[in-house]
Amino acid sequence: MTVHNLYLFDRNGVCLHYSEWHRKKQAGIPKEEEYKLMYGMLFSIRSFVSKMSPLDMKDGFLAFQTSRYKLHYYETPTGIKVVMNTDSGVGPIRDVLHHIYSALYVELVVKNPLCPLGQTVQSELFRSRLDSYVRSLPFFSARAG
């Protein structure tokens, strides 16, 4: 069980942060294109899910799963999107993604006067705290499983 990578987008589609821990295969396109592809996909899936839902929608799009990995999605009311790719065996991790937003992003980026909002995060503190937080998660193992 492991975490492969993590994306952080803001409401305009700007990729605020990307880190990877175990990624054996790259997408084959430049990073900028990859971020745009990811954001576009999320945007389309979100509106698709809400349109085609047979019942009243509560939380909307949460995750998608393939045979090799699972993509978890969390969106805040302000439009910040946290996307984490993990192993297939990992259950719902909404609270983890919420913690990444509230205790890491809000504390270290929003409250940092030297981090302009709407741009990629340059703060070393944010990067290192996020890294140690993800490594401390119960479903993260150092070996790519």
Partner 1 sequence: MADEAVFLLLHNEMVSGVYKSAEQGEVENGRCITKLENMGFRVGQGLIERFTKDTARFKDELDIMKFVCKDFWTTVFKKQIDNLRTNHQGIYVLQDNKFRLLTQISAGKQYLEHASKYLAFTCGLIRGGLSNLGIKSIVTAEVSSMPACKFQVMIQKL
Q: Does residue 141 belong to the site contacting partner 1 (CB under 8 A)? A: no
Q: Does residue 112 belong to the site contacting partner 1 (CB under 8 A)? A: yes
Question: How many CB atoms are closer than 10 A to CB 83?
Answer: 22
**How far apart are CB 8 and partner 1 at their closest, in Å?**
17
**How far apart are CB 119 and partner 1 at their closest, in Å?**
15
**How far apart are CB 3 and partner 1 at their closest, in Å?**
23
79 in Cβ contact with 11 (< 8 Å): yes
Which amino acid would we find at residue 12? Answer: N
Beta bridge partners of 7: 18, 83
Q: Does residue 108 belong to the site contacting partner 1 (CB under 8 A)? A: yes
**How far apart are CB 100 and partner 1 at their closest, in Å?**
16
- 3-state SS class at 16: strand
Q: Does residue 136 belong to the site contacting partner 1 (CB under 8 A)? A: no
69 in Cβ contact with 86 (< 8 Å): yes
The residues binding partner 1 (CB under 8 A) are 107-108, 111-114, 123-125, 128
